[in-house]
Chain A
Amino acid sequence: MSTVRKHYVKVFDEELDKLKSSVSRMAQIADMQLLNVMEALRRMDHGLAESVIDTDEGVDHIEYSVENLCIELLARMQPLAGDLRLITTTLKIITDLDRISDYSIDIALRIRQLSTPLPETVYTRLSEMASLSREMLRSAVQAYVSGRLDELEDEIVKREERVDDLFHEFVAHPLNGFGEETVSHLNVVSAVLVSKYLERIADHCVNIASRVYYAVEGRRVNLNVRIRHGLVRA
């Protein structure tokens, strides 16, 4: 096991710690947004949905400050090797986190369109997709902060496969779970759209995990491609 080394320039260590803290904070907000929007969806709670939308500005603010810090560190410290990989990875990760946040906002906006609550069986599948995505997000960000990969790849792969399966079920059988009563077309479409947003959130979590591999080990690992068993993505 390699020794933990510190930079001769102490302030560099402090600023890298600050970078990681900010990314961690941004991830916590994105996680909370997803948790809250799914609760809003379950209860048709428009007030809670609006509060999720209101947090968008805060997420953008953190993204800009992290981006500025990265640029400053690149210019001032001229980092190399592991430090350079960490900073460039951070620039990519905050974009993924911002997109995750944006999709939660999209779900919140969708809630405005619903005429009635979604059937419980439909919501349960969507909720499972959200929970799996939140677990992936937490694992990936934990690996980014600690610099340790542990079982990250396995944790990500199995969860993303399940999210994919659930999404494809929504696309292939959109009426599943809506029962025999008159179905609101808007609700069916909304359910499929929400499943799409959650599938994209999962993809961004996988992106984050893949990028962390580059930051820590310097190798490119495309977990998405592995998960799709070598199928080429457009």
Chain B
Amino acid sequence: MVMDPKIEVKELSVSYGSKPVLKHVSLTVPREEITAIIGPSGCGKSTLIKALNRMVELVPGAKVTGQVLLDGRDIYGPGIDPVEIRRKMGMVFQKPNPFPMSIYDNVAFGLRILGLGDRRKLDKSVEESLIRANLWEETKDRLKENALSLSGGQQQRLCIARALATHPEVLLLDEPASALDPISTARVEDLLKDLKSEVTIVLVTHNMQQAIRVSDRTGFMLLGELVEFNGTAKLFEHPSDERTEAYITGKFG
């Protein structure tokens, strides 16, 4: 049992129209840890992560039941501002998506939306975010350059810096390294391990070795259900459920 979890998901179900996509999922995400969600394509892992910050509501016809508690408060409860939730739960997507503007403006974008206009404060926040994303040394002399001039791996770290700029409490990453080469992947993974002491991280990944390398806990999903949720070492060394064993060993029958 996780004491004082950062996020608690209780009987969460999501359907797109009449099609159920998540079925009664319950799990707890500990603070300052990396939680990985794995499973085959179509299992519902991306839907789960989007449900954690109410992005799933942007899908036409999406219906959500159950609870997602952030620090004990249901983010789907009455009076909760979804924009504020999305500020607290930053998200990074599979394909790096820097805005078509300068490196500096990418990181400052969210801060300006929140009303931060003071130039010196913006400069400081941009620098801090790029440092936290391990990108400062590579970009400090070219902040005015277009972000699209960066390599794929750098763009993804820029997206992480952009997410970090608004000081989220949680970072949600949906296959953040799947479009990156091995070295860029290693740098992103290293970054996540450095960040977890400051921000709770939930990571969806197809790459089981990545889940093993970076995460503290792992959940295995199949056909919309959370089949198993356990310490990463335990789940990958000796899973409790046969379906988990079959998936991670690549077996059928």
Q: Is the CB of B249 within 8 A of A79?
A: yes
Q: Is the CB of B253 within 8 A of A82?
A: no
Contact A80 to B208, CB < 8 A, known contacts A5-B246, A85-B238, A218-B237: yes
Instruction: Bits for A71-110, please: 1 = Cβ < 8 Å to B, else 0.
Output: 0000000111111110000000000000000000000000
Main secondary structure of the interface of B (DSSP, over half): helix
Answer whether residue A233 sits at the interface, using C-beta atoms and an 8 A cutoff: no
Residues of B contacting A6 with CB < 8 Å? 251-253
Q: Is the CB of A84 within 8 A of B237?
A: yes
Answer whether residue B242 sits at the interface, using C-beta atoms and an 8 A cutoff: yes
Q: How many A-B residue pairs have CB under 8 A?
A: 46
Q: Is the CB of B252 within 8 A of A85?
A: no
Residues of A contacting B239 with CB < 8 Å? 81
Give the contacting residue for B237; candidates A2, A4, A8, A85; CB below 8 A: A85
Instruction: Bits for A156-199, please: 1 = Cβ < 8 Å to B, else 0.
Output: 00000000000000000000000000000000000000000000
Q: Is the CB of A8 within 8 A of B236?
A: no
Nearest residue, chain B, Cβ from A6: B253
Smallest CB–CB gap between B93 and chain A, Å? 26
Instruction: Bits for B222-253, please: 1 = Cβ < 8 Å to A, else 0.
Output: 00000000000000111100101110111111
Contact A80 to B249, CB < 8 A, known contacts A2-B242, A85-B237: yes
Answer whether residue B209 sits at the interface, using C-beta atoms and an 8 A cutoff: yes
Residues of A contacting B249 with CB < 8 Å? 5, 7, 79-83
Residues of B contacting A116 with CB < 8 Å? none
Q: Is the CB of A5 within 8 A of B237?
A: no
The count of chain B contact residues (Cβ–Cβ below 8 Å) is: 17
Q: Is the CB of B209 within 8 A of A78?
A: yes
> Roughly how many angstroms separate A4 CA and B253 CA in the complex, as a whole number?
7
Residues of A contacting B250 with CB < 8 Å? 7-9, 12
> Roughly how many angstroms separate A223 CA and B252 CA in the complex, as a whole number?
34
> Roughly how many angstroms separate A4 CA and B239 CA in the complex, as a whole number?
16
Interface residues of A in 193-228 (CB under 8 A from B): 218-219
Q: Is the CB of B253 within 8 A of A3?
A: yes
Residues of A contacting B209 with CB < 8 Å? 78
Residues of A contacting B252 with CB < 8 Å? 5-6, 8
> Roughly how many angstroms separate A94 CA and B212 CA in the complex, as a whole number?
28
Contact A7 to B237, CB < 8 A, known contacts A2-B242, A78-B209, A82-B245: no
> Roughly how many angstroms separate A218 CA and B208 CA in the complex, as a whole number?
19
Interface residues of A in 1-27 (CB under 8 A from B): 2-9, 12
Smallest CB–CB gap between B221 and chain A, Å? 17
> Roughly how many angstroms separate A218 CA and B251 CA in the complex, as a whole number?
18
Give the contacting residue for B251; candidates A5, A78, A84, A85; CB below 8 A: A5
Smallest CB–CB gap between A131 and chain B, Å? 35
Name 22 interchain pairs, CB-CB below 8 A, sorted by A: A3-B253, A5-B246, A6-B251, A7-B249, A7-B250, A8-B252, A78-B209, A80-B208, A80-B212, A80-B236, A80-B237, A80-B248, A80-B249, A81-B244, A81-B248, A82-B245, A83-B249, A84-B237, A85-B237, A218-B237, A218-B238, A219-B238
Closest A-B pairs by Cβ, 4 of them: A218-B238, A5-B251, A5-B253, A80-B248
A4-B253, A81-B245 known; 4 other A-B pairs, CB under 8 Å? A7-B249, A80-B236, A80-B248, A82-B249
